[in-house]
Amino acid sequence: MINFEYARPSDVAEAVRQVAADPRAKFIAGGTNLIDLMKKDVERPPRLIDISRLPLTSVIETPDGGLRIGALLPNTDLAYHPLVEQRYPMLSSAILAGASQQLRNMASTGGNLLQRTRCYYFYDVASPCNKREPGTGCSAVAGFNRQHAILGASEACIATHPSDMCVALAALEAKVHVVGPTGERTIAFADFHRLPGIEPQRDTSLGATEIITAIELPARGFARNYTYLKIRDRLSYAFALVSVAVGLELENGTIKEARFALGGVAHKPWRDEDAEAALRGQAASEVIFARAADLSLRNAKGLSHNAFKIDLARRAIVRALGQATRATPQSQSNKAIR
Ligand SMILES: Cc1cc2nc3c(=O)[nH]c(=O)nc-3n(C[C@H](O)[C@H](O)[C@H](O)COP(=O)(O)OP(=O)(O)OC[C@H]3O[C@@H](n4cnc5c(N)ncnc54)[C@H](O)[C@@H]3O)c2cc1C
Ligand code: SF4
């Protein structure tokens, strides 16, 4: 491990001042991703700015009926918060589908958004990787790419975003509040994570000298007709091969509002507005779910080891939409609606 300096600012303004003084410095919150990356020599920050004790752990109701969640609230506390369980159960389910209890106790809300890909080559400093070292090439394209992207990838990088929580936040249309040297700004969740393009080293639109202070949930929580379906190699403690977060609003069997986001398939949680639009105004049925799934996957491309994900995603979307329609979010059944 290389030497690094350590600082613990007492407020957000001081944290921003410290990172602005050396943008190669890194904030550390729960440390569950950053410390691993440092041990493996993937990240080499000269200075760690410990934000774990900043007072950013509150959950506050907003005037328009939503919730503002502090960026340092542990994932466990967020998942089990009574207002989140009641009004945003899709978010609770997604968080509890991730990692382990011990990790969720340490992991913070802001850190979860910024966790890095689980591409094996990214963690192996002996392998070329454009995300870790721009311009060196991508070992996964012609290598073992079973967990990699089927949507939105580029020639430079085919990595996926590993978070479960972020898939639900995408479907809920959360906002990310950040503070930087020039003040505060708010980023729509859809614009927070990036596709790799020719700059795969940049995962998000967050500036190097900005700190996440809060996540805001809008009033609409899809508390009745929702699900988070995660398909993985083991039943627990494994990242998603494919996951689907669904929120529906139904009236007499007709879909009034529909959201669904996919995890494990792209460099960011994947939403497709055309696929969601195809559900609105329609009677809920397997036929219409399959049409939405096909639309959502119309540009999917498989590689040597991950082509199976296209059919897996298609079936997962149909199943998840069925679970949400029946209000049976944990059901293992793939029973037809009609
Ligand atoms: C074995 C294992 C299994 C896992 N399984 C899953 C899983 O199945 N699903 C899943 O979703 N996740 C999984 N995780 C990932 C885990 O959820 C993340 O590691 C965690 O959410 C990161 O949060 P943290 O607070 O520990 O971040 P840290 O490690 O402290 O930081 C991560 C990054 O975020 C930056 N950062 C942190 N907070 C802020 C902030 N407020 N503002 C700006 N920058 C910030 C840091 O500088 C760093 O770059 C797993 C992790 C491990 C180790
Ligand atoms: S997929 Fe991305 S993270 Fe993985 S080796 Fe290629 S460039 Fe690196």
Q: Is the pLDDT of residue 337 over 70?
A: no
Sign of CA dihedral 164, 168, 171, 173: negative
Helix (H, G, I), strand (E, B) or coil at 199: coil
Q: Is the pLDDT higher at 201 or at 235?
A: 201
Torsions phi, psi for 293 (to 5 deg): -65, -45
Tell me if 66 sits within 8 A of 218, measured CB to CB.
Answer: yes
Q: How far apart are CA 275 and CA 124, in angstroms?
A: 37
Q: Considering every ligand atom shown, identify the ligand nearest to the alpha carbon of residue 135 and give its number.
A: 2
Q: Is the pLDDT of residue 1 over 70?
A: no
User: Separation of 113 CA from ligand 1 center, angstroms?
Assistant: 7
Q: At which residue do the structure tokens 């020719």 appear?
A: 198
What lies within 8 Å, CB to CB, of 58 at 6+ separation is 68, 70, 73
Helix (H, G, I), strand (E, B) or coil at 263: strand
DSSP string for 147-173:
TS-SSS--SS-------SHHHHHHHHT
Determine which residue's CA is closest to atom 9 belonging to ligand 1.
Answer: 98
Tell me if 250 sits within 8 A of 233, measured CB to CB.
Answer: no
Q: How far apart are CA 151 and CA 158, in angstroms?
A: 9
Tell me if 13 sits within 8 A of 180, measured CB to CB.
Answer: no
**338 confidence band (pLDDT: 50, 70, 90):** low
Sign of CA dihedral 264, 269, 270, 276: positive
What lies within 8 Å, CB to CB, of 26 at 6+ separation is 34, 43, 45, 47, 48, 49
Q: Is the pLDDT of residue 287 over 90?
A: yes
**Can you give the pLDDT at residue 90?**
98
Q: What is the pLDDT of residues 90-104, one digit of tens each?
A: 999 999 999 999 999
Return the ligand 2 atom nearest residue 141 CA: 6
Return the ligand 2 atom nearest residue 121 CA: 5
Amino acid at 248: L
- Choose the residue to mutate in 18, 108, 187 for probing ligand 1, maximizing ligand atoms within 8 Å of C-beta: 108
Q: How far apart are CA 150 and CA 50, in angstroms?
A: 36
Q: Is the pLDDT higher at 228 or at 331?
A: 228
% of residues, the chain, pLDDT over 90: 96
Q: What is the pLDDT of residues 173-200, one digit of tens each?
A: 999 999 999 999 999 999 999 999 999 9
Return the ligand 1 atom nearest residue 95 CA: 11
Q: How far apart are CA 91 and CA 61, in angstroms?
A: 16
Q: Is the pLDDT of residue 336 over 90?
A: no
Helix (H, G, I), strand (E, B) or coil at 215: strand
Q: Which residues pair with 50 in a beta bridge?
A: 28
Return the ligand 2 atom nearest residue 159 CA: 1
> If you average pLDDT over residues 72-98, what whole number do you get?
98
**Can you give the pLDDT at residue 194?**
98
**162 confidence band (pLDDT: 50, 70, 90):** very high
Q: Is the CB of 34 inside a 6 Å radius of any atom of ligand 1?
A: yes
Helix (H, G, I), strand (E, B) or coil at 36: helix
Determine which residue's CA is closest to atom 47 belonging to ligand 1.
Answer: 27
Query: Which pTM value belongs to this model?
Result: 0.98
Q: How far apart are CA 178 and CA 214, in angstroms?
A: 7
Nearest Cα to 203, choosing from 215, 220, 191? 191
**Can you give the pLDDT at residue 335?**
63
User: Separation of 114 CA from ligand 1 center, angstroms?
Assistant: 6
Compute the residue count for the chain: 338
Tell me if 270 sits within 8 A of 244, measured CB to CB.
Answer: no
Containing 90, the helix (H) or strand (E) segment is helix 89-96
